[in-house]
Amino acid sequence: MAIKINEKIMGYEVIKEEPLRAESNVVHMHEKLERPEMLVGSTYKIKTPLTEHALYVTINDIVLNPDTPHEKRRPFEIFINSKNMDHFQWVVALTRVISAVFRKGGDVTFLVEELHSVFDPRGGYFKKGKYTPSLVAELGDVIERHLKLIGLIPVEQPDAIRQQIIAEKLAELKKRAGVPETIAGEASVFPSDALLCVKCSTKAVIMMDGCMTCLNCGDSKCG
């Protein structure tokens, strides 16, 4: 609605909208947060060709603001157990450092990239068609999988059209190789001469319709 001003303007000021105040009772992750008596945990098994015994990685989460619209699940601590005592010192040190980062709060997803960048001087290994540069990098895979599970890392998937194309190509490859339909989509059905994908580190890149396409994540490059 327009307002007509008949008198001389002596001054003015801009009225700003007050920012929405955060609710004072919302609990956020910080290092002084006390550990509750019970935490929600998930355990992952790591078995590599470099070690005789498997490693069991347990990540415990704390549930903040339960039964409220602000309910969140955040990692609180990590433990690694194994019969192999060769790596005991660095395993204990690593779990304590990672647990401290978890309790600090904020964005902890950077840990995944940092662990993925660790290379074993003796060389990495392939596991289910995926190249893993070191045992520490595989620990990064476990943390990444867990952060995706609780929603801290978004799950990236090819669009519906690309998924359909990949499924059709996988079905065609399985039919040629005589692979049963019950194991559709496993890494074992990828061609033996497939190349390593720089995006998902899986040996699943083939030439498809004139483009180098990964049958695992859908990454494609032409030319």
Per-residue pLDDT 10s for the chain (223 aa) are: 677 778 877 777 777 665 545 566 788 888 888 999 999 999 999 998 878 889 999 999 999 998 898 889 999 999 999 888 777 888 899 999 999 999 998 899 999 999 999 998 888 888 877 888 999 999 999 999 999 999 999 887 666 776 777 777 777 766 665 554 444 444 455 777 788 887 777 887 877 767 787 877 777 777 5
Residue 181 has phi, psi (to 5 degrees) of -65, -20
Q: What is the pLDDT of residue 181?
A: 47
Q: What is the pLDDT of residue 156?
A: 74
Residue carrying the six token digits 């005589």: 178
Q: What is the pLDDT of residue 113?
A: 94
CA angle 187, 190, 197 (to 5 degrees): 85
Q: Tokens standing for 141?
A: 């895979």
Kindly report whether the global pTM for this prediction surpasses the value 0.85: no
Asked if 131 contacts 122 with a C-beta cutoff of 8 angstroms, the reply is no
Q: What is the pLDDT of residue 174?
A: 64
Give the start-end residues of each E strand in 65-184: 72-82, 125-127, 130-132
Q: What is the pLDDT of residue 158?
A: 65
Q: Tokens standing for 71?
A: 């309910």
CA 61 – CA 150 distance, rounded (Å): 9
Q: What is the pLDDT of residue 189?
A: 59
Q: What is the pLDDT of residue 114?
A: 95
CA 208 – CA 197 distance, rounded (Å): 14
Taking CA atoms, 201 is separated from 36, 102, 109, 141, 194, in Å, by 38, 27, 19, 11, 12
Residue 170 has phi, psi (to 5 degrees) of -65, -40
